[in-house]
């Protein structure tokens, strides 16, 4: 088991290597941008599906919608660029909202972000599989299996550690950028050499009339193009020093690339009046229109698949990091803040992979079905983060604070309006699920925090009295026996070595059996008294616990007796089935039946190893 | 949980009530005969299905086959009647074969019987559901679910205890006997008043030619009519005294009833030339022919269902009893010999129910598919038992021993021949599975026995030296701590109360953390030394185990240190997720990683109960 793990994720790394696990800008772009860049795949697709139902008249709105979205993109990117130097420790929306708007709002942002990281992984993988299945329709029936396979692969890559997966991920990102930008350039040249197409000639017949509602609906879906822009602000500490500056530059480059890819593909789609059939994505149709159905087309589709698979990596950088911050603040299980063998937050990664896998299965590997859940959390988190930044500037001021506050204010306004549109137009299609989930997550955060607080209160030595360290008298020890054999004799020796008040107890199930035991005890009992407890109902645990309670009550010194359990440890797993495991049952009963047997009682295990 | 159990199976019974749980003959017939009596349901069906493929010419062989089977029945019944007084302690084929032919052959018989008990339960339930689904075709698609529901119901009834389930079971058995005998009487009168039918007019066209092979095949399948005759010989101790005499009388009555029902129904089927369609059993068709499709018909079919459901009860009497005998002899896990709360062998019953449920699921609730597995074990066990009786008479002699030996010899011969026919004609249809399973079971018996023997050898005090009871010096105690808090202070007090050689150990995961711990230890450490073990790879268990080994090696007195583990016990299940459970991991590692850390080391648990 251990060897297989080592092979898959590499040997453990010592803690002092932690500082070295940083990324330069080229690698950081590859690690944090795939989600943002690849969003064009599903955003374009959603705009197309949203408008195509209104036929040619609907599709004519693609470019205007694209321009609005790029406007929002610019506002959000500028807004985040201001966040990075202000919050070099990372934490993104959570940290910003917490510091400026209070812990409650911070947790609200955190719950949105956690949900979105999971959805990013699920949506990216399913959209990636859709891209490659557009090129190879034979893969269409296996979309769920393919998406899950890729999920497993990137989970393993991430468990190996950030730097190595950074290298692994860089290739597809740059392959995508190069091939896609080249495709757009070719498309631009072809467009200049030809006259524009017309949707009237290509679009399917309208099945719905063109309403403002329909356009807003398509706009809301298209806003998923902005997902991922948040990732860098969460990951500032991973950049090489100067962290904030490097991160900000990477963010600007990323936003410019996003805008170019998005507007370029939307513009060309409208210019050539491209439409797609039911088993193909609109981007696939555009690429075939520009490049033809040939090896170049296959390269672009493969690059699309790869960057979308890698996009899930953004979540594997962000989710475990945010979960560990929450865990350190006491709002999530502590295990999420432990560094694994390879210096990554392995538990968070496994949790993310599990949740994304469930989503892929539950939504049949269809990204179009997942999209309505997606944008609510994204834009709520954006809004909270930028509103927090406005408060930040009002508080700390500093050079040009009014301008900075205005930029963040515009960002907040833009994302609030988008959030409203998304919430209304997608509510019945699945957004309600997220609206329900967020308060549940907040409740969980609160409950966890309360539990840790209570434990700390119980354990504190702050106002402990000096008597807390007074010596105890050596405890009474009770040794339950099932017979007289070597294991019992050994256990008895141990019991006598820690106490001079030892009692052996035999629970008699078959009336009369005790006589034989008493006889043998004469010889092997080392002078320790033997008590026989009858059990008319053939239970061992019940009568024994009752005896212990009786003994404690009689002794009257308030110090419960310790119990010593000789326990068989079989050499092979199947031998467990051949032994009664009474010791385990007793231990469980002693530990967990405390409503009836509430004493804090030491349980001493004396293992007896059976030979192989 | 405990309350629900009480409701379903009744409150626990004290051991002294065991002697009272005996059955009179009327109840004993109801408890042991359902399998035998109800066998006609599937035996008739198998003969019909086996012959119908050869059309009218084939079906003409029904009655001759029926007569041969009744001949075998007589031989077997006589043979078993002689076994009862010779083996009043019960155990049937296993006891007889073991005592006379040696332990090995006895276990062979036992493995056959265990397999057959499971198959009886599965076949009876599926055949019973087929009977009622013949009357109500709407139930046909739910045969698996229905069979499993009945399985659960009889399991619960049996877990309540034999006497109460005896009462419960008696009603359907006598309802079946009365309604079926009445139906046969009506049929006989109608037959006398009418002329015989002809299969030429009713039978489907032949799809196979009539060969000796085909007739033998049908005979083999029909021999399942004999299943269940063994049950009484296993259950002699359950009869009221004089046990053997009462059991023998019950056996004779049962065999006569079996013969009457079987020959009566086969005879009438042939006289009226009854055939059945694909969704109906042949018995259902016969009853409708005799009584018409009316309420009387529904009563007979319901009685057939009920007695077949109750037939599975034979297995619930026999299987756990045989398993407990095997367990007492050391060939099966000991737990199978424990009496449950209600003075029944609950573990055996649950095992039987689980196995029968798996068979029902695996064979899609179709008794016709299960039958080929059935007869091999039955007739092998019959043969071994009767061959054993021949040896018995040769050995003990006594009055008329030659006649008795001859009767058992004829029985053995008849069942050996039947076994040969069954084995050859059903091998490829499923009998091979049983032929494979029997040696595997024998291997399991042997392995279990060998394990218990080895454990006994290891534990025996037979040649133990007096030093085995020499006093030990009080042990070194190691207390791993994760911080300095109330739980640790309490645990430290306990450690000091049992030893004056206590060491606290802190595993340092984040370099530098130990300084704070050392500082707090100054105040709360009660003078006990604190050792800090660095863990560059952030594992707690590994460094701790290595430290323990180092400590043992350094001390050089051959006495391994005890380890004391403070352990959180959360008040609610979900709180487990919020704690690290390091104590559990450590205990598991200490107990089960013995290849690397092979010391027998006492493990002392100090539970710390978190408040609710």
What per-residue confidence (pLDDT) applies to B372?
87
What per-residue confidence (pLDDT) applies to A16?
53
Q: Which secondary-structure segment (H or E) carries A203?
A: none
Q: How far is B79 from chain A (nearest CA, A)?
A: 36
Whether A448 and A487 map to the same domain: the answer is no
Cα B58 to Cα A392, B48, B174, distances in angstroms:
96, 9, 34
Owning domain of residue A379: 22-454
Which of A454, A484, A507 lies at the terminal end of a domain, its last residue?
A454
Cα A165 to Cα A12, A158, A162, A172, A317, distances in angstroms:
16, 6, 5, 12, 10
Residues contacting B350, CB < 8 A, separation 6+: B155
Coil, strand or helix at A504: strand
Whether B477 and B414 map to the same domain: the answer is no
What per-residue confidence (pLDDT) applies to A443?
94
**A511, B468: Cβ pair inside 8 Å?**
no
Q: Name the region of B228 (left: φ>0; alpha: ψ -120 to 50; beta: rest).
A: left
**A578, B448: Cβ pair inside 8 Å?**
yes
Whether A437 and A532 map to the same domain: the answer is no
**B511, A16: Cβ pair inside 8 Å?**
yes
Terminal alpha carbon distance of chain B: 21
Residue A533, exposed/middle/buried by CB under 10 A (0-12, 13-18, 19+)?
middle
**A15, B536: Cβ pair inside 8 Å?**
yes
Highest mean pLDDT: which range of A241-255, A327-341, B314-328: A241-255
Residue of chain A with shortest Cα separation from B500: A498
What per-residue confidence (pLDDT) applies to A427?
87
User: Contact A384/A97 with Cβ under 8 angstroms?
Assistant: yes
Q: Pairing relation of β-strands A603-609 and B603-609? A: antiparallel
B444 confidence band (pLDDT: 50, 70, 90): very high
How many beta-carbon pairs under 8 angstroms link A with B? 199
Say how many residues make up chain A. Answer: 612
Q: Per-residue pLDDT averaged across B298-318, rounded?
A: 88
Residues of chain B with Cβ-Cβ distance to A473 below 8 Å are: 497
Whether B367 and B288 map to the same domain: the answer is yes
**A454, B610: Cβ pair inside 8 Å?**
yes
Q: Per-residue pLDDT averaged across A143-162, rounded?
A: 86
**B461, A587: Cβ pair inside 8 Å?**
no
User: Contact B273/B198 with Cβ under 8 angstroms?
Assistant: yes
Is A558 within 8 Å of chain B by CB?
Answer: no
What per-residue confidence (pLDDT) applies to A14?
56
Whether A387 and A487 map to the same domain: the answer is no
Q: Is the pLDDT of residue B221 over 80?
A: yes
Residue of chain A with shortest Cα separation from B341: A537
- Residue B165: inside a domain: yes
Q: Is the pLDDT of residue A565 over 60?
A: yes
Q: Per-residue pLDDT averaged across B316-327, rounded?
A: 86
Q: Chain A interface, mutation test: which of B10, B323, B465, B603, most A Cβ atoms within 10 Å?
A: B603
pLDDT digits (tens, 9 = 90+) for B462-496: 877 766 677 788 889 999 988 888 888 888 989 99
User: Contact A184/A40 with Cβ under 8 angstroms?
Assistant: no
B438 confidence band (pLDDT: 50, 70, 90): very high
Is A452 within 8 Å of chain B by CB?
Answer: yes
Q: How far is A498 from chain B (nearest CA, A)?
A: 5
Q: How far is A251 from chain B (nearest CA, A)?
A: 33
User: Contact B36/B228 with Cβ under 8 angstroms?
Assistant: yes
The candidate with the shortest Cα–Cα distance to A200, out of A268, A286, A265, A270, is A270
Which of B387, B422, B454 lies at the terminal end of a domain, its last residue?
B454
- Residue A477: inside a domain: yes
Is A15 within 8 Å of chain B by CB?
Answer: yes
- Residue A491: inside a domain: yes
What per-residue confidence (pLDDT) applies to B581?
67
User: Contact B542/B586 with Cβ under 8 angstroms?
Assistant: no
Residues contacting A299, CB < 8 A, separation 6+: A179
Q: Is the pLDDT of residue A79 over 70?
A: yes
What per-residue confidence (pLDDT) applies to A343?
59
Residue A159 or B164, more confident: A159
Whether B525 and B406 map to the same domain: the answer is no
What per-residue confidence (pLDDT) applies to B265?
94
Residues contacting A292, CB < 8 A, separation 6+: none
| Range 561-580 of A in CB contact (< 8 A) with B | 567-569, 575, 577-580
- Residue A466: inside a domain: no
What per-residue confidence (pLDDT) applies to A596?
46
Q: Is the pLDDT of residue A163 over 60?
A: no
pLDDT digits (tens, 9 = 90+) for A374-408: 888 888 988 998 899 899 999 988 888 899 899 89
A588 confidence band (pLDDT: 50, 70, 90): confident
Number of domains comprising chain B: 2
pLDDT digits (tens, 9 = 90+) for B504-546: 999 888 888 889 999 989 888 888 999 999 887 777 788 888 8
Pick from A471, A509, A538: CB nearest B496: A471
Residue of chain A with shortest Cα separation from B578: A333
* Lowest-pLDDT range of A222-236, A241-255, A261-275, B174-188: A222-236
Whether B420 and B561 map to the same domain: the answer is no
Coil, strand or helix at B532: strand
Q: Per-residue pLDDT averaged across A481-493, rounded?
A: 87
B325 confidence band (pLDDT: 50, 70, 90): confident
Whether A129 and A183 map to the same domain: the answer is yes
Residues contacting A494, CB < 8 A, separation 6+: A564, A604, A606, B472, B475, B602
pLDDT digits (tens, 9 = 90+) for B231-282: 788 778 888 888 888 999 999 999 999 999 999 999 999 999 998 888 889 9
What per-residue confidence (pLDDT) applies to B82?
85
Residue B158 or B493, more confident: B493
Whether B55 and B128 map to the same domain: the answer is yes
Please tell me the pTM assigned to this model: 0.70
pLDDT digits (tens, 9 = 90+) for B109-155: 999 989 999 999 999 999 999 999 999 988 888 999 999 999 998 88
Q: Chain B interface, mutation test: which of A334, A454, A458, most B Cβ atoms within 10 Å?
A: A458
Is A476 within 8 Å of chain B by CB?
Answer: no
- Residue A255: inside a domain: yes
User: Contact A509/A535 with Cβ under 8 angstroms?
Assistant: yes
pLDDT digits (tens, 9 = 90+) for B1-47: 455 555 555 666 655 554 556 778 888 888 788 889 999 989 999 99
What per-residue confidence (pLDDT) applies to B596?
46
Residue B16 or B422, more confident: B422
A175 confidence band (pLDDT: 50, 70, 90): very high
A595 confidence band (pLDDT: 50, 70, 90): very low
B305-343 burial code (b ≥16 CB/10 A, e <16)? bbbbbbbbbbbbbbbbbbbbbbbebbbbbbbbbebbbbb
Whether A482 and A605 map to the same domain: the answer is yes
Which DSSP category does A23 fall into?
Answer: B
Pick from A460, A485, A608: CB nearest B460: A485
B597 confidence band (pLDDT: 50, 70, 90): very low
Q: What percent of chain B has pLDDT over 90?
A: 32
Q: Is the pLDDT of residue A3 over 60?
A: no
pLDDT digits (tens, 9 = 90+) for A432-464: 999 999 999 999 999 999 988 888 888 887 777
Whether B236 and B278 map to the same domain: the answer is yes
List, in sequence order, every residue forming a beta bridge with A567; answer none if it has no partner.
A607
Which of B396, B428, B454 lies at the terminal end of a domain, its last residue?
B454
CA A12/CA A338 separation, integer angstroms? 14
Whether A423 and A479 map to the same domain: the answer is no
What per-residue confidence (pLDDT) applies to B190?
93
- Residue A182: inside a domain: yes
- Residue A413: inside a domain: yes
* Lowest-pLDDT range of A239-248, B302-311, B437-446: A239-248
CA B356/CA B348 separation, integer angstroms? 12
Q: Per-residue pLDDT averaged across A338-360, rounded?
A: 83
CATH number at residue A366: 1.20.1740.10
CA A162/CA A30 separation, integer angstroms? 12
**A341, B538: Cβ pair inside 8 Å?**
yes
CATH number at residue B584: 3.40.50.620
* Lowest-pLDDT range of A182-186, A597-601, B73-77, B98-102: A597-601
- Residue B521: inside a domain: yes
B580-612 burial code (b ≥16 CB/10 A, e <16)? eebbeebbebbbeebeebeeebbbbbbbbbbee
Residue of chain A with shortest Cα separation from B330: A578
Report ipTM (2 d.p.): 0.72
Q: What percent of chain A has pLDDT over 70?
A: 91
């Amino acid at each position: 088991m251990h060897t297989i793990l080592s092979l898959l994720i590499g040997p453990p790394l010592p803690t002092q290597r932690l500082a070295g696990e940083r990324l330069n800008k080229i690698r950081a772009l590859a690690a944090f941008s795939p989600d943002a860049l690849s969003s064009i795949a599903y955003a374009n697709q959603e705009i197309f599906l949203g408008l195509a139902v209104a036929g040619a008249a609907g599709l004519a709105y693609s470019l205007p919608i694209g321009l609005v979205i790029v406007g929002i993109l610019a506002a959000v990117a500028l807004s985040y660029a201001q966040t990075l130097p202000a919050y070099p420790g990372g934490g993104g929306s959570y940290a910003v909202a917490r510091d400026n708007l209070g812990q409650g709002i911070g947790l609200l942002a955190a719950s949105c972000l956690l949900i979105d990281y999971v959805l990013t992984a699920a949506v990216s993988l399913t959209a990636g599989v859709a891209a490659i299945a557009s090129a190879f329709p034979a893969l269409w029936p296996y979309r769920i299996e393919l998406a899950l396979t890729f999920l497993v692969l990137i989970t393993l890559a991430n468990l190996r550690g950030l730097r190595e997966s950074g290298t692994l991920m860089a290739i597809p990102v740059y392959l995508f950028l190069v091939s896609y930008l080249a495709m757009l350039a070719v498309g631009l040249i072809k467009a200049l050499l030809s006259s524009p197409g017309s949707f009237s000639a290509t679009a399917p017949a309208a099945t719905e009339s063109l309403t403002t509602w329909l356009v807003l609906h398509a706009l809301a879906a298209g806003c998923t193009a902005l997902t991922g822009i948040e990732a860098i602000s969460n990951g500032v500490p991973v950049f090489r020093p100067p962290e904030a500056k490097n991160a900000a530059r990477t963010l600007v480059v990323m936003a410019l690339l996003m805008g170019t890819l998005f507007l370029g593909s939307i513009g060309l789609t409208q210019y050539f009046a491209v439409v797609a059939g039911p088993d193909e994505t609109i981007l696939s149709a555009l690429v075939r229109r520009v490049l033809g159905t040939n090896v170049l087309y296959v390269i672009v589709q493969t690059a699309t698949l790869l960057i979308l698979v890698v996009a899930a990596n953004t979540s594997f950088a962000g989710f475990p990091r945010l979960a560990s911050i929450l865990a350190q603040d006491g709002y999530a299980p502590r295990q999420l803040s432990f560094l694994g063998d390879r210096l990554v937050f392995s538990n968070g990664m496994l949790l993310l992979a599990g949740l994304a896998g469930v989503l892929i299965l539950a939504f049949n590997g269809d990204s179009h079905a997942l999209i309505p859940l997606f944008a609510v959390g994204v834009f709520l988190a954006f809004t909270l983060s930028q509103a927090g930044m406005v408060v930040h500037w009002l508080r700390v001021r500093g050079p040009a604070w009014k301008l900075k506050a205005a930029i963040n204010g515009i960002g907040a306004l833009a994302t609030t309006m988008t959030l409203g549109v998304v919430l209304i137009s997608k509510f019945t299609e699945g957004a309600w699920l997220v609206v329900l989930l967020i308060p549940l997550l907040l409740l969980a955060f609160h409950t966890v925090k309360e539990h840790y607080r209570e434990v700390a209160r119980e354990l504190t030595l702050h106002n402990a009295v000096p008597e807390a360290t007074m010596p105890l008298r050596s405890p009474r020890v009770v040794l339950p026996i099932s017979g007289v054999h070597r294991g019992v004799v050994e256990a008895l020796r141990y019991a006598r070595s820690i106490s001079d008040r030892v009692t052996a107890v035999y629970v008699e199930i078959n009336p009369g059996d005790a006589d034989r035991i008493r006889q043998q005890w004469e010889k092997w009992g080392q002078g320790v008294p033997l008590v026989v407890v009858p059990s008319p109902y053939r239970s061992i645990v019940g009568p024994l616990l009752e005896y212990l309670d009786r003994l404690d009550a009689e002794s009257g010194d308030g110090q419960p007796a310790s119990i010593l359990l000789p326990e068989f440890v079989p050499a092979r797993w199947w031998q467990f089935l051949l032994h009664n495991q009474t010791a385990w049952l007793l231990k469980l009963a002693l530990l967990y039946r405390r409503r009836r047997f509430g004493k804090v009682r030491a349980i001493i295990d004396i293992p007896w190893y059976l030979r192989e």
